[in-house]
Structure 1
Amino acid sequence: MAGKVKSLYVCSECGYETAKWLGKCPSCGEWNTLNEEIRETTKSGVVKPEKRMSSSYSKPLRINEISTDDEQRYFTGSKELDRVLGGGIVKGSLVLLGGDPGIGKSTILLQICNHLGRMLKILYISGEESRRQIKLRAMRLNVDSDNLYVLTETDVEVAAEYIRSEKPDLVMIDSIQTMNFTELSSSPGSVTQVRECTNILMRTAKTLDIPVIIVGHVNKDGAIAGPKVLEHIVDAVLYFEGDKQMSYRILRAVKNRYGSTNEIGVFSMGDRGLSEVENPSLMLLSGRPKNVSGTCVACVMEGSRPILAEIQGLATTTGFGNPRRMSTGFDYNRMSLLLAVLEKRAGFYFANLDTYINVVGGLRLDEPAADLAVSMALVSSLKDIVIPDDMLAFGEIGLAGEIRSVSHAEERVKEAARLGFKKCIVPKHNLDSIKLSKDLNINVIGVSTVREAFGAICS
Structure 2
Amino acid sequence: MKKKTKFVCQECGYESAKWMGKCPGCQTWNSMVEEMERAKPATRGVFVHSSSNTISKPVPITTIATSQEPRIVTDLSEFNRVLGSGIVKGSLVLIGGDPGIGKSTLLLQVSSQLALRQYKVLYISGEESVKQTKLRADRLHISSHELYVLAETDLEYIHQAIEEVQPDFVVIDSIQTIYRAEIASAPGSVSQVRECTGELMRIAKTKGIAIFIVGHVTKEGAIAGPRILEHMVDTVLYFEGERHHTYRILRAVSNQMLLNN
Alignment of 1:438-449 (within 5 A): none
1:160 and 2:159 equivalent?
A: yes
**TM-score, normalised via structure 2 length:** 0.90
> Structure 1 residues 82 and 21, CA, compared in 2 at 3 Å: closer, same or farther?
same
The 5 A counterparts of 1:223-238 are 223-238=222-237
1:226-267 deviation digits (Å, cap 9, x = unpaired): 0001111110000011113321110011xxxxxxx3110111
The separation in 2 between residues aligned to 1:233 and 1:48, in whole angstroms, is: 21
| Other-structure match for 1:244 | 243
Pair 1:34-2:34 in alignment: no
1:177, 1:194 within 8 Å by CA — same for their partners in 2?
Answer: yes
Matched residue SS, 1:232 = helix
2:132 partner amino acid: Q
CA distance in 1, matches of 2:115, 2:126: 21
Residue 207 of structure 1 deviates from its aligned partner by 0.7
Alignment of 1:385-396 (within 5 A): none
**2: CA distance, partners of 1:228 / 1:182:** 23
2:156 and 2:184 mapped to 1: Cα distance?
15
Q: What's the CA shift string for 1:67-107, capped at 9, x where partnerless?
A: 34361211122111111010111110000000000000000
Residues 241 and 247 in structure 2, CA contact (< 8 A), matched pair in contact too? yes
- Would you say how many aligned residue pairs link Structure 1 and Structure 2? 254
Per the TM alignment, residue 64 of structure 1 is displaced from its structure 2 partner at its CA by 4.0
Structure 1 distance, partners of 2:247, 2:172, is 25
In the alignment, what sits opposite 1:219? Answer: 218
Q: 2:260 aligns with which of 260, 265, 268?
A: 268
Answer whether contact 2:10 2:225 (CA < 8 A) is retained: yes
> RCO higher in 1 or 2 (8 Å CA, sep ≥ 6)?
2
Cα distance in 2, alignment partners of residues 29 and 222 from structure 1 = 17
The 3-state SS of whatever aligns with 1:265 is: strand
TM-score for the superposition, normalised by structure 1: 0.52
The match for 1:47 among 39, 50, 53 is 39
Q: Counterpart of 1:30 in 2: which secondary structure?
A: coil
What is the CA–CA distance in structure 2 between the aligned matches of 1:69 and 1:29, rounded to whole Å?
42
State how 1:314-353 maps to structure 2 within 5 Å: none
Q: Summarize the Cα distance change of 1:189–1:246 in structure 2 as closer, same or farther, 3 Å threshold.
A: same
Q: 1:56 to 1:101 in 2, by over 3 A?
A: same
The equivalences for 1:121-136 within 5 A come to 121-136=120-135
Output one character per residue of 1:164-193: Cα deviation in whole Å (capped at 9) or x when no partner.
Answer: 343210000000000010001111111101
The aligned counterpart of 1:140 is 139
| Cα deviation code 1:176-230 (max 9, x no counterpart) | 0000100011111111010000011011111101110000001111111100011
Cα distance in structure 1, aligned partners of 2:102 and 2:205: 27
Specify whether residues 105 and 57 from structure 1 end up closer, same or farther in structure 2 by C-alpha distance, changes over 3 A only.
Answer: farther
Q: 1:47 offset after TM fit, Å?
A: 2.9
Query: Where does residue 103 of structure 1 map in the other structure?
Result: 101
The answer (yes or no) to whether the contact 2:11–2:26 under 8 Å persists in 1 is no
Would you say the 8 A contact 1:102–1:244 is kept in 2? Answer: no
One-letter amino acid of the structure 1 residue matched with residue 94 of structure 2? L
Q: The residue matched to 2:39 in structure 1 has which SS?
A: coil
Please identify the structure whose Cα radius of gyration is greater.
1
State the alpha-carbon separation in 1 of the partners of residues 113 and 49 from structure 2: 36
Q: Which amino acid aligns with 2:15?
A: E
% same residue: 55
User: Offset at 1:58?
Assistant: 1.6
What is the rounded CA distance, in whole Å, between the counterparts of 2:83 and 2:99 in structure 1? 22
Q: For residue 203 of structure 1, give the secondary structure of its aligned residue in structure 2.
A: helix
Letter in 1 for 2:28: W
Query: CA shift at 1:36, angstroms?
Result: 1.2
State how 1:47-196 maps to structure 2 within 5 Å.
47=39, 52-54=50-52, 58-69=56-67, 71-118=69-116, 119-196=118-195
Distance 1:111 1:215 in 2: 14
CA RMSD of aligned residues (A): 2.1
1:331-359 per-residue CA deviation (whole Å, 9 max, x = no partner) reads: xxxxxxxxxxxxxxxxxxxxxxxxxxxxx
Unaligned 5+ runs, structure 1: 254-260, 270-459
CA distance in 2 between partners of 1:193 and 1:101 (Å)? 21
